[in-house]
Amino acid sequence: MKKLNLVAVVAALVSCTAFAAPQGFNQSAIPSGPAGFNNQAPTTVKGVLESAYDDQIVTLKGRLTNYLGDDRYEFTDVNGDRIEVELDDDHDWSNIAKDQLIEIVGEVDKDLMSTSLEVKRAVPAQK
């Protein structure tokens, strides 16, 4: 009976190890593609304007600097570059303010003549 209990404990330990997360992968809070494919999203407005593709998810740090009407605002990143962002009115954006340093996560909307971001999440940034 003691051997059977020992075998059960060893089997449980081995199976727990098999379900552990693979080593060497970044476990960040923001979802992204698999590592090792050089598919990093741009982190500046200039990078978004130059190399982002339509529907790509990006994270930028900067400030809302101008109201453009409806749910459109001008976002200025920490380098001074600007892009139009859309803050849908179905979200509560009361946690951010004009000229406050924020971090936004948004989806790139790339058209023939313009590039903008549809903001999915905005939070005050750590300085």
Question: What are the chain's domains?
Answer: 45-124 (2.40.50.200)
Q: Identify whether the C-beta of residue 88 lies closer than 8 Å to the C-beta of residue 101.
A: no
- Percent of all residues in the chain with a pLDDT value above 70, rounded to a whole number: 69
Phi, psi of 45 (to 5 degrees): -60, -40
Residue 91 and residue 55: Cα distance in Å, rounded? Answer: 19
Residue found under tokens 């089997």: 11
- Percent of all residues in the chain with a pLDDT value above 90, rounded to a whole number: 62
The whole-number pLDDT of residue 69 equals 92
| Range with the poorest average pLDDT among 10-19, 33-42, 101-110 | 10-19
Residue 26 and residue 36: Cα distance in Å, rounded? Answer: 11
50-98 residue pLDDT tens: 999 999 999 999 999 999 999 999 999 999 999 999 999 888 999 999 9
Residue 117 and residue 55: Cα distance in Å, rounded? Answer: 9
One-letter amino acid of 17: T
User: To 5 degrees, how large is the angle CA 65–CA 66–CA 72?
Assistant: 115
- Closest by Cα among 109, 110, 113, 63 to 86: 109
Is the model's pTM score more than 0.75?
no
- DSSP-assigned letter for residue 37: S
The whole-number pLDDT of residue 17 equals 47
The whole-number pLDDT of residue 11 equals 61
The whole-number pLDDT of residue 126 equals 81
> What does the mean pLDDT of the chain come to?
82
